[in-house]
Amino acid sequence: NMNFIADRLKRIKPSMTVGINVKANALRAEGKDVLVLAAGEPDFDTPLNIRKAAVTAMEEGQTRYVPGKGTPALQKAIQSKFLKDNNLHYDLDEIIVGVGGKHIIYNAMMATINPEDEVIIPAPFWVSYPDIVLLAEGKPVIVPCPEDQNFKLTADQLEKSITDKTKWLMLNSPSNPTGSLYSKQELQKLADVLLKYPQVLIMSDDIYEKVIYDDLEFSTLASVEPRLRDRCLTLNGVSKSYCMTGWRLGYCGAPKEIIAAMNKIQSQSTTSTSSISMAASVEALNGTQDFIDEHNQAFVRRRDLVVNLLNQIDGLSCLTPQGAFYVYPSCAGVIGKVTPDGQKISNDEDFMSYLLESEGIAGVHGAAFGLSPYFRLSYATSDEILTDACARIKRACEQLK
Ligand code: PMP
Ligand code: GLU
C-alpha cells in the first residue's frame, strides 16, 4: 500500500464547479433527463471573426513556441484594452498572459505566498480561490458577506480581517456566484482602508467585466484609487466576454516584479498558452465588440425570467444579480423539511442532491462557495430549459413536508 501522492494534495479538494458539471453532463450523455445549470460558461459559440483569426493564424504558420508573456501583438492588444476600458496604463513588462484566468491566479499565488501568509477571501467566493491559496501554502481567511449586504465585503469587515500576515485581498466583481457588482463608491471605501496597510496586495478578478446589466458601470480598484495601482493585480481573460472558455487564455496587469516572478514559473511549467489562442485573442480584443451587447440582452432576459420564477417558489428567495450569469437563491425555507422518500434536507448540499435525484436539476450547493444555505444556478442556457428547470424546482419544493 504505497502512498505516491504528495502531502500538499491533502490540503485541497477538486473543483466542485468543474466536478458537478462533468458529472451532470455524463449523466445526460447516458440518456438521463438532466438539465445542467452548473456550467460557468456562456452557451454562445465563439464569435466567427475570432474563430477565423485562429484559422488564419494556423494557415500562416503561427504554430511555434511564442513568448510566455504573450506575443507582441497580444501584449499590445491587452495594453490598449486596459487603457480604453479601465483607464489603466500598463507597460509591456507589467502584463502577462496565462492558460486561463485560473492559471494567472495560481501563478500569482505561487509567486508571492510564503507559508502562513494570509489571503482574505470574502464569501461567497469562486470555489478555486481558497484551494489555490492552500496549494501555495497560504492561509485563506474567509469573511462571510451576508445577503443583506448584497454579498459584498464592507470596509469595516475588511479592516477587521487585516493582520500583519495579510498578503492578498481577493475581490471579484461582478461576482461568481452572486452576480453582485461593487460600485465605484464601495471600492473607494475599501481602498481607503487598504491605503493604511501597505503590506496587502489586491487581486481584482474582473473576468465578468463585460457581463453587466441595467446600464450599471464597471469599476476596478487600480483605477478607482491610483495610489493602489502598484499593489493591484488586475485580472481578466477572454473566457466569459468572448465565449472562449475552451481556448484557455487569461491575462493580467500587475507590478513588474510580480509579472517577472510569474513569468519565471511559466518558463519552467507551461511555457505559454497556445499560439493559436493568442492569435484568436488579439482579434477578440481588437475586433468588433458588437456581440457583447447581443449576448447581454439574452442574459438579462434570462436573469429576469429565472429570478421571477424562483421567487414564486415557496421556500426559496432570490436577489436580482447585476452581472455575470448566475443566480444565488436562498433555500433557507426548505431546510429541515423531509423528502417523499423520508430524507431530511439538512443543508444546501442535501437540497441539491434531492433536486438532481428527483427532477434532474444540476446546480451547485452554496457550501462550495463558502456561504449557506444557498445554491448557484447558471442561466447561460435557453429560455425553454430555464422555464422547465424552474417548474421542476417548484414541483420538487412542493413535495417537501
Ligand atoms: N474567476 C472567476 C470568478 C471565474 O468564475 C472564472 C471562471 N472559471 C475564472 C476566474 C477563470 O476562468 P478561466 O480560467 O476560464 O479564464
Ligand atoms: N468558473 C466557472 C464556474 O464557476 C467554470 C468552472 C471553473 O473553472 O470553476 O463554474
CA dist 372 → 101, 342, 375, 376 (Å): 26, 23, 8, 11
CA distance 401 to 397: 9
Which phi-psi region, left, alpha or beta, contains residue 16 (left: φ > 0; alpha: ψ -120 to 50)? alpha
Nearest partner of 324 among 207, 231, 235, judged by Cα: 207
Kindly give the distance from the C-alpha atom of residue 242 to the centroid of ligand 2, in angstroms, as a whole number: 15
**Of the residues 102, 132, 249, which should be mutated to test ligand 1's pocket, given the most ligand atoms within 8 Å of the CB?**
102
At 74-86, the pLDDT tens digits run 999 999 999 999 9
List residues near ligand 1 (CB under 6 A): 40, 100-102, 126, 172, 176, 205, 207, 237, 239, 245, 250
pTM score above 0.95: yes
Kindly give the distance from the C-alpha atom of residue 197 to the centroid of ligand 2, in angstroms, as a whole number: 31
- 197: pLDDT strictly greater than 80: yes
Residue 207 identity: I
Minimum-distance ligand 2 atom for the alpha carbon of 128: 9
Mean pLDDT for 375-397 is 98
* Mean pLDDT score across all residues of the chain: 97
Give nearest CA residue, ligand 1 atom 12: 101
CA distance 319 to 300: 14
- 353: pLDDT strictly greater than 80: yes
Q: Which three cell numbers stand for residue 190?
A: 475599501
CA distance 299 to 293: 10
**Of the residues 21, 106, 126, 181, which should be mutated to test ligand 1's pocket, given the most ligand atoms within 8 Å of the CB?**
126
Kindly give the distance from the C-alpha atom of residue 299 to the centroid of ligand 1, in angstroms, as a whole number: 18
H helix count then E strand count, the chain:
13, 12
Kindly give the distance from the C-alpha atom of residue 127 to the centroid of ligand 2, in angstroms, as a whole number: 8
Kindly give the distance from the C-alpha atom of residue 206 to the centroid of ligand 1, in angstroms, as a whole number: 9
Q: Which three cell numbers stand for residue 114?
A: 510564503
- 39: pLDDT strictly greater than 90: no
Give nearest CA residue, ligand 2 atom 10: 40
At 206-257, the pLDDT tens digits run 999 999 999 999 999 999 999 999 999 999 999 999 999 999 999 999 999 9
* pLDDT recorded at residue 3: 87
Kindly give the distance from the C-alpha atom of residue 334 to the centroid of ligand 1, in angstroms, as a whole number: 30
Minimum-distance ligand 2 atom for the alpha carbon of 15: 9
Q: Which three cell numbers stand for residue 128?
A: 478555486
Mean pLDDT for 370-399 is 98
Give nearest CA residue, ligand 2 atom 1: 40
Kindly give the distance from the C-alpha atom of residue 244 to the centroid of ligand 2, in angstroms, as a whole number: 13
Q: Which three cell numbers stand for residue 88?
A: 489603466
Ligand 2 site, residue 19, Cβ cutoff 6 A: no
* pLDDT recorded at residue 349: 96
**Of the residues 46, 109, 176, 204, which should be mutated to test ligand 1's pocket, given the most ligand atoms within 8 Å of the CB?**
176
Helix (H) or strand (E) holding 36: strand 35-36
At 58-71, the pLDDT tens digits run 999 999 999 999 99
Nearest partner of 395 among 355, 367, 350, 335, judged by Cα: 355
Q: Which three cell numbers stand for residue 194?
A: 487598504
Kindly give the distance from the C-alpha atom of residue 356 to the centroid of ligand 1, in angstroms, as a whole number: 25
CA distance 44 to 48: 11
Ligand 2 site, residue 176, Cβ cutoff 6 A: yes
Virtual torsion, Cα 134, 171, 112, 77, nearest 10 deg: 130
* pLDDT recorded at residue 174: 98
At 123-162, the pLDDT tens digits run 999 999 999 999 999 999 999 999 999 999 999 999 999 9
